[in-house]
């Protein structure tokens, strides 16, 4: 995911808005550049093709006279001026910030339309308590001023409903950003279900190649829905997850209602994904992106709970036993122990079975293509591991289970590791607990 940087004041931002003559003491540097016999048009064309991030690093890292020449060049090149506005002026920089007011952001894009093709990272905070309430008339006035093409009553109705109710309007700035690559949406627990449904609906409308939007999100690569989410229906069968460029999907702290685990998940589609990160395990167990997925990392808070807070028992007897056999290209996998072997509740999970039975369960779950596996271990007081006795943890530890494995059970597996994770994310260190010795 793209790192956000707040640019320091290496340059006078006021230069962006004024035509400033080349400083006299930069003439030598300009002459030196010309002595390379590089045609100016070729030089500018090459610079225009460089990514904004590289150009930004050039700006902030080069000292001395040549930097002044670069600045002079930037004043004659619209691309350079856009970079300065995007990265160096705080009033335009949305890349490193969480946007709390989508209405204000859309006003900014209306007033600075050139920014719509620059912004590639959009982070929105769906906290209705922070949002300024707007009337339907205000929303309609703003929508008309944006001059969306094609524009119709359906678009206006969606805008009005979303922004006046604060339940999904945050996605709409995306339709003004044809170059957006990353969308991160933060949701709060009290209204997360409404926001989730509305967000998926609106984002699907934007993503649908056949919809009334002239610029679908065909550049979107990373989609992150952070914090408290609930998922009561398999709505992931949607155009947004079939975008050809989408590589990463992150869902944090997902809570599934009990009946979802008993539904047929064959209809779920994630076409075009080669990498899905941190998506909930059960929603992927029978998904049809099996021919493209290469790397899968799934974790959530333990224990799993339904929407009303009731713990969910994922055991050996669950209706949808987990299996990743259909993922024909899966090479790297990371799962929580509870996704692997089930929760210790009224019925025993796989961790309570003999080691041989647990290995059979894992062999039945993993695809033959798997090369790297990581146990994700919850690192907080209420996690699954802490609920087990010390003796149980010793006898049924991951290390002891993998020591008993055989080559024919996991033909391609090369290495098994453990990695701790907490509420704030993954630990950096991974510990190798098993490695194939050929």
Contact 176, 213 (CB under 8 A): no
Ramachandran class of 3: left when φ > 0, alpha when ψ lies in -120 to 50, beta otherwise: beta
Supply the pLDDT for residue 435.
92
Contact 239, 208 (CB under 8 A): yes
Spell out the per-residue pLDDT of the chain, length 438, in tens.
333 333 332 333 333 333 333 333 333 333 333 333 434 443 444 555 566 666 666 666 666 666 566 656 655 566 665 565 555 544 445 555 677 777 788 888 888 777 777 777 777 776 666 666 777 778 778 877 876 655 444 555 565 666 665 544 555 666 677 777 777 776 654 444 555 566 666 666 665 655 555 455 667 766 666 544 444 444 444 555 556 566 666 655 544 333 333 333 333 344 444 545 444 444 454 444 555 567 777 655 555 554 455 555 544 444 445 677 777 778 888 877 666 665 444 333 445 567 887 888 888 888 899 999 988 776 665 544 555 556 555 555 778 888 888 888 999 999 999 887 765 556 668 889 999 887
Residue 403, burial from CB neighbour count under 10 angstroms (0-12, 13-18, 19+) = exposed
Rounded to whole angstroms, the Cα distance separating 60 from 419 reads 37
Rounded to whole angstroms, the Cα distance separating 318 from 348 reads 11
Residue 338: name the closest of 370, 375, 310 by CA. Answer: 375
Quote the pTM value.
Answer: 0.53
Longest dimension (CA), the chain: 82
Supply the pLDDT for residue 121.
78
Rounded to whole angstroms, the Cα distance separating 137 from 13 reads 36
Rounded to whole angstroms, the Cα distance separating 98 from 246 reads 22
Rounded to whole angstroms, the Cα distance separating 223 from 213 reads 19
Rounded to whole angstroms, the Cα distance separating 99 from 7 reads 18
**How many residues are listed for the chain in this entry?**
438
Rounded to whole angstroms, the Cα distance separating 311 from 257 reads 10
Q: What φ, ψ does residue 231 adopt, rounded to 5°?
A: -140, 105
Q: Taking the mean position of all CA atoms in its chain, how far away is CA 333? A: 18
């Amino acid at each position: 995911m793209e790192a956000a940087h707040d640019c320091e004041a290496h340059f006078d931002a006021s230069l962006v808005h004024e035509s400033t003559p080349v400083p006299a003491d930069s003439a030598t540097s300009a002459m030196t550049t010309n002595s390379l016999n590089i045609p100016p048009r070729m030089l500018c064309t090459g610079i225009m093709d460089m990514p904004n991030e590289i150009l930004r690093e050039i700006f902030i890292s080069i000292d001395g006279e040549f930097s002044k020449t670069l600045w002079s060049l930037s004043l004659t090149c619209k691309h350079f001026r856009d970079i300065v506005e995007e990265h160096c002026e705080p009033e335009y920089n949305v890349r490193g910030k969480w946007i709390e007011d989508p209405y204000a952001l859309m006003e900014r894009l209306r007033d600075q339309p050139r920014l719509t093709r620059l912004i590639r990272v959009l982070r929105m905070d769906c906290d209705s308590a922070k949002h300024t309430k707007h009337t339907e008339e205000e929303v309609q006035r703003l929508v008309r001023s944006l001059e969306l093409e094609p524009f119709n009553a359906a678009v206006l109705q969606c805008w009005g409903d979303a922004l006046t109710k604060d339940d999904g309007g945050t996605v709409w700035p995306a339709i003004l950003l044809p170059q957006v690559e990353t969308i991160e949406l933060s949701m709060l627990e009290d209204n997360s279900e409404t926001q989730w449904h509305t967000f998926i609906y609106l984002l699907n409308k934007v993503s649908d190649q056949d919809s009334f939007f002239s610029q679908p999100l065909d550049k979107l690569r990373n989609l992150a829905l952070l914090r408290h989410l609930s998922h009561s229906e398999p709505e992931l069968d949607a155009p947004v997850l079939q975008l050809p460029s989408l590589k990463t999907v992150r869902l944090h702290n997902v809570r599934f209602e009990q009946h979802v685990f008993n539904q047929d998940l064959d209809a779920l589609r994630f076409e075009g994904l080669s990498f899905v990160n941190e998506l909930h395990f059960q929603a992927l167990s029978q998904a049809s992106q099996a021919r493209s997925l290469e790397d899968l990392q799934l974790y959530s808070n333990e224990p799993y709970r339904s929407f009303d807070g009731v713990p969910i028992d994922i055991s050996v007897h669950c209706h949808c036993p987990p299996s990743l056999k259909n993922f024909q290209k899966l090479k790297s996998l990371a799962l929580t122990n509870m996704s692997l072997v089930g929760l210790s509740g009224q019925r025993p999970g796989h961790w309570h079975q003999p080691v041989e039975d647990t290995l059979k369960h894992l062999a039945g779950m993993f695809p033959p293509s798997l090369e790297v596996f990581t146990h994700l271990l919850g690192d907080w007081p209420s996690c699954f591991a802490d609920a087990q006795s010390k003796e149980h943890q010793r006898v049924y530890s991951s290390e002891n289970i993998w020591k008993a494995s055989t080559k024919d059970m996991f033909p391609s597996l090369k290495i098994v590791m453990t990695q701790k994770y907490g509420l704030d994310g993954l630990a950096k260190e991974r510990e190798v607990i098993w490695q194939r010795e050929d």
